[in-house]
Amino acid sequence: MKKENLFLRWLDHSLSEADRTALQDDERFSAYEKISQAAQYFRAPEFDASSSYDRLRLKQQQQTKVKRLKPWRIASAIAALFVLGLLVVNLTANNTTTLTAANADRLEVSLPDASTVQLNAGTSLSYNEDKWEDSRQVDLDGEALFTVTKGSSFEVNTDAGSVRVLGTVFNVVDRDGLFEVTCFEGRVAVSFPDNTTIEIGAGEGVRLLGTKLNRFETATARPSWVNHKSIFKSTPYKIILAELERQYEVSVDASTIDKNVIFTGSFTHEDLETAMEAVTVPLNLKFQISGKKVTITK
């Protein structure tokens, strides 16, 4: 039997012991064996080699010209699988978990170290589980309340800044040009893109609105949103309307009014009409609710 056929049968795992002995005298066989053994250490996506090989043979039979796979092509195919295995390992090593609370919804999750996070409506959180033991880091887009177990440094990254703690309870907001961190237990360090870092303790907070940075104090034990209520102090009206849209999953049309006016007040998350009265009456505005659309006028 020609050695080319023996190589094909070896690739198809149908080589007898006698045939294997015949191949062992060929110096190419040793190289192919090493490549095959190395490829076993890599895990590629599930692939039915038998059925694929059958389809390949059927396709070859249907063609006018039949090309026989040469031994060097066999080695190339195995080497390609070897490289593919490396690629798959590198891609799957970045095991990022993303959690999202939809509008008008909330989500409470546990992180790998038993720290817990409550996500407010319209918020997403992501972290790399594979790297968690070495680096407790999460990326946040929206608003969330963190209860962090003691241990190595824990970091929350947002587009507007980052928060670093060891073990504490704190709330982070990163929405519509507002970046705000409130500490309820322990201490946290808040860093900004300009390399400014501010440390705050329990009952303290720091707020960046546009380019204006200030500190504040709070007497509450938790953020208001966990009790189904949003509270605002000296906040642009457009931010209040955006939060209304997230909490009730509605579309607010306020095109005829000034959305940059500064508002101080609150609204409930449990009744849309009551919430609309709370944010319109103080400004002498009117509103109309039509299904999922709310229109605000003077």
Cα 138 to the chain's mean position, in Å?
A: 9
- Can you give the pLDDT at residue 88? 36
- Can you give the pLDDT at residue 2? 56
Residues of the chain predicted below pLDDT 70: 1-15, 19, 23-94
Question: Structural domain boundaries of the chain?
Answer: 3-93, 96-224, 228-297
Q: How far apart are CA 229 and CA 222, in angstroms?
A: 12
The 3-class SS string of 184-232 reads EECEEEEECCCCCEEEEECCEEEEEECCEEEEEECCCCCCHHHHCEEEE
- Can you give the pLDDT at residue 34? 55
- Can you give the pLDDT at residue 35? 55
- Can you give the pLDDT at residue 89? 35
13: number of Cβ within 10 Å: 8
Name which CATH class applies to 96-224.
Answer: mainly beta
Whether 138 and 128 have beta carbons less than 8 Å apart is answered as no
Residue partners of 280: CB distance under 8 A and separation at least 6: 286, 287, 296
Assigned CATH topology for domain 228-297? Phage tail protein beta-alpha-beta fold (3.55.50)
DSSP 149: P
